[in-house]
Amino acid sequence: MYGFNVTDHTFPYDNRPVAPLTNYTFDQWWFHGHLDYPPNDGDIFELPAGQPATTEIACNKGATTFFASSEGGDIRNPNKPNDPCPGSDPSEYHTTGPSDLKGCALAIAYKNDARQVQPEDFVVFSINQTCVFNRFTDFQVPERMPACPEGGCTCAFFWIHSQDSGGEQNYMNGFKCNVTNATSNVALATPQIPRRCGADPENNVPNPTPGNCTYGAKQPFYWFQAERNNMFEGTYSPPFYLDLYNFKDGAQNDIFVDSYPNGIPTPSANQTLVPTPFLGGAIAEPTSSGSSTLVSSSSISAASSVGAVGSTSASGGPSISASLAGSSFAASSTASSSSAMSATVTSTATTTETSTLVQTVFVTLPVSPLPPSIAASPSLFSPSPSASNFQSLTTILLTAASSSTLTSSSSPLATSITTASSASVANATAENADALIPAALRANFDVLPANATDIAFSASTDSATATATSAPSATAATDGMCHVSFKTQRRRSLFDVQSRARSLGSWHVSRGDAGRKLKTRSSLWRIF
């Protein structure tokens, strides 16, 4: 993993892999600023095509198989071997329980030199929607993944936690990877920006809008940094690796250049045509209840759709209509597809495969408590991190052998699609953004600073790490742990919002949230 041996003394600020990424410059957040700290030669994480890559996630390296390289020694709980944070509350990893998980992603770029990789190169290929709740976490690898170039590929782990447990924190950690057991040479499609299209009850959007989804290869979320963002959702509506953005749990099997031979409709809230992917078996014509324009899979609209902003962690406050609270601003380009199908094909193919594998990855979880009282200072949103802002925990994705039987099938999508009202997702272009800003930014709004436990990801196959020995420490169970979880709010002025939006090159539309108050959740406010 890039930065695996970085400590809290390596940089002028705490830039360990476990530290969260918020309001950073591109050089700070991209690969966590660790490009000068690459993995050891030969440390490559293998991705077996069509099989799961089994990992370990924990709050401390001592809670994984890699405990030998942990300063605190072995703190695993033999009675709960799947516990990622032995002896700790779930708030350590930003959740109130299984129903409050927001998913993690693995993404890949088919370049062997990480310095040549750009944000637009990464394609999300696997999602685990229950990440980060279990120590042993599987990421399913698509069966049709092609082989990497000589020297391997570049991969990264991405995670954004729930809005009701901490600040606007992102996690990105890069590592070297290689696809094994490859049987296909079909390339991955150019990834597009994900769009908010699923049911979103917390923001008063009860029904999904499938026509507004991004289909096919998608980029990871780059959110709430000082520059190079591709997502502009507000504080209370972070983007998540869930169905909300058409990230299905498991392998992303429609990410290839031939996944949509009939083309992909231009996504919008009013789109009624939903494409059917080719998954290596049968394909079917898209179903439409109205006229639509087909575009190629590499040229769908590069716009991020933002749903109505809201939060279940606050009570009271004004009600904002979806038409004002959500919008997206980006240039849109379309191209006609040249691969139209002449007939409708409907069939189902099923294959079964049994395999055993051993995979090694490790992940790190940090703690970043702030004082219970924080002044409304612009320094909270400065791209320059403070060395005193974070305490960290360590997490690891571990080596584990597993045997699994995989069954995959492909079949056409339903021929009838019901779309939500167009008011549920507002769309706009850069040309009319100025007209929307005054209405959406009439009031100041509250922002939560980064202040809770954080998870990062690392991957390594260093044999020395696995075989080293270290005596357990009596303080291992509490080392680096957060003892109090709390939230603080500060007021961001209209000037702050507009200045940040301009610096990003795009308007960040947020709702007026003056007067919001946090709703206390016992599991998040508990002292432990």
Interval 57-67 mean pLDDT: 79
Given this model, what pLDDT does residue 281 score?
Answer: 59
Identify which of 161-175, 257-271, 482-496 has the greatest average pLDDT: 257-271
Instruction: Output the furthest CA–CA distance in the chain (Å, rounded).
Output: 70
Residues 198-206: what's their mean pLDDT?
Answer: 93
pLDDT band of 100, cuts 50, 70, 90: confident
User: Regarding predicted confidence, which is higher, 116 or 439?
Assistant: 116
173 Cβ partners below 8 Å, 6+ apart? 1, 2, 3, 17, 31, 32, 34, 156, 157, 363, 364, 456, 457, 458, 459
Q: Are 180 and 359 contacting, i.e. CB atoms less than 8 angstroms apart?
A: no
d(C-alpha 59, C-alpha 76), whole Å: 11
| pLDDT reported for residue 389 | 35
Nearest-angstrom CA–CA distance, 83 and 63:
8
Q: Is the dihedral of CA 502, 505, 510, 516 positive or negative?
A: negative
139: nearest Cα among 363, 353, 352, 349: 363
Give the pLDDT confidence of 272-281 residue by residue, as tens digits: 999 999 987 5
Q: For 452-476, give the DSSP string.
A: S---EEE----HHHHH------TTT
Residue 232 has pLDDT above 90, yes or no: yes
Specify the length of the chain in residues.
528
127-143 tens-digit pLDDT: 999 998 888 989 999 99
Six-digit token string for 348: 């189902």
Residue type, 46: E
User: What pLDDT is stored for residue 262 in this prediction?
Assistant: 94
Contact 160, 171 (CB under 8 A): yes
Residues paired with 158 in a beta bridge: 105, 172
In contact, 232 and 193? CB cutoff 8 Å: no
pLDDT for 166 equals 64
In this predicted structure, the answer to whether residue 218 has a pLDDT above a threshold of 70 is yes
Q: What is residue 100's three-state secondary structure?
A: helix
The mean per-residue pLDDT over the stretch 484-505 comes to: 36
Mean pLDDT throughout 501-512? 36
Distance of CA 397 to the CA centre of its chain: 17
pLDDT above 60: residue 80:
yes
pLDDT band at 162 (very low <50, low <70, confident <90, very high): confident
Average pLDDT over residues 430-447: 33
pLDDT at 405 over 90: no
Q: In what order do the strands lie in the sheet with 52-56?
A: 136-140, 52-56, 362-364, 456-458
What lies within 8 Å, CB to CB, of 298 at 6+ separation is 189, 190, 257
Instruction: Name the average pLDDT for the chain.
Output: 65
- Measured distance CA(453)–CA(18) in Å, rounded: 9
Distance, in Å, from the CA atom of 55 to the CA atom of 21, rounded to the nearest integer, reads 22
> Residue 294 forms beta bridges with which residues?
265
Given a cut of 50, whether residue 283 has pLDDT beyond it is no
What is the C-alpha separation between 435 and 433, in angstroms, rounded?
5
The percent of residues above 70 in pLDDT, for the chain, comes to 51
Contact between residue 108 and residue 149 where contact means Cβ atoms under 8 Å apart:
no
Q: Tokens for 494, please give them.
A: 């209209």
Sign of CA dihedral 242, 219, 513, 20: positive
Question: Is the pLDDT confidence value at 316 over 50?
Answer: no
Of 69-83, 110-124, 461-475, the one with minimum mean pLDDT is: 461-475
The yes-or-no verdict on residue 459 having pLDDT over 90 is no
Q: What is the DSSP string of 281-322?
A: S---PPB-SS---EE-TT-S------B----TTEE------H
**pTM for this one?**
0.58
Query: For the chain, how many helices (H) and strands (E)?
Result: 6, 18
**At 158, which helix (H) or strand (E)?**
strand 153-160
Question: What's residue 92's pLDDT?
Answer: 63
pLDDT of residue 84: 82
Predicted pLDDT at 95: 64
Under a CB-based contact definition with an 8 Å cutoff, are residues 74 and 475 in contact? no
Pairing of strands 153-160, 170-180: antiparallel
Of the pLDDT bands very low, low, confident and very high (cuts 50, 70, 90), residue 97 is low
pLDDT of residue 374: 34
Residue 266 in this model has a pLDDT that exceeds 70:
yes
List 106's β-bridge partners, or say none: 126, 157
Tell me: pLDDT of 246 over 70.
Answer: yes
- Closest by CA position to 142, among listed 217, 221, 40, 55: 217
Nearest to 172 by CA among 24, 306, 305: 24
Whether the per-residue pLDDT at 299 is higher than 90: the answer is no
pLDDT of residue 448: 34
Q: Based on C-alpha coordinates, what's the Rg of the chain?
A: 23
- Range name among 121-125, 198-202, 216-220, 377-381 with the lowest pLDDT average: 377-381
Please give the structure tokens belonging to residue 435.
């007209």
Three-state SS annotation for 342-381:
CCCCCCCEEEEEEEEEEECCEEECCECCCCCCCCCCHHHH
The conformational region for residue 499 under phi > 0 = left, psi -120 to 50 = alpha, else beta, is alpha
In contact, 284 and 412? CB cutoff 8 Å:
yes
Q: Is residue 458 within 8 Å of residue 397, measured between CB atoms?
A: yes
Residue 149 vs residue 397, higher pLDDT: 149
